[in-house]
Structure 1
Amino acid sequence: MKQDYQPTWRKPVGILLLVAALAIYAFGVASLAGVIGGWHVLVQTLVYIVLGTVWLLPLRRFLIWMETGRWG
């Protein structure tokens, strides 16, 4: 029989850190809107696509840490 699951502190703390980091990142991207808004619409689209997906890069390792306590 498997051992009973014991929740860890990493999941609630990780969720709070993730929400805080995303809020800071979104604020940073939004603060660039004045500069990016002056560019050609196709360049704006490309920039926002890149900025909208780049935050996903560290997410895998962060979720692994939340689940296992290791960074990879």
Structure 2
Amino acid sequence: MPIRLRKLIGTILLVALVIVYALVASIVAVAQLAESGPLAHFLFFLLSGMLWVLPAMGIIKWLILEPPRPKN
């Protein structure tokens, strides 16, 4: 796969990940934290704010992989 195509796909995946993750985290927060205290809000948003990094790291790792060189 050409590197330019890989970077295009990776960029689209990262943008989609951030949008979908933000929507899901917001829906969960509204549905589950409506009557919780400020500490629960803080902990939820701290955890959910850092959790999206794990799948993003996988996408970025895939982006920077060197294409295999053909054996001659």
| TM-score in terms of structure 2 length | 0.75
Q: Which runs of no fewer than 5 residues in structure 2 stay unpaired?
A: 68-72
Task: State, as a whole percentage, how many aligned pairs show the same letter.
Answer: 26
Are 2:2 and 1:16 aligned?
Answer: no
CA-based RMSD of the aligned residues comes to 2.0
What number of residue pairs does the alignment pair up?
65
The 2-side partners of 1:46 and 1:55 are apart by 15
**Structure holding more helix per residue:** 2
Q: Which runs of no fewer than 5 residues in structure 1 stay unpaired?
A: 1-5
Higher relative contact order (CA 8 A, sep 6+): 2
| TM-score in terms of structure 1 length | 0.75
Are 2:59 and 1:62 aligned?
Answer: yes
Q: Which runs of 4+ in 1 moved over 4 A?
A: none
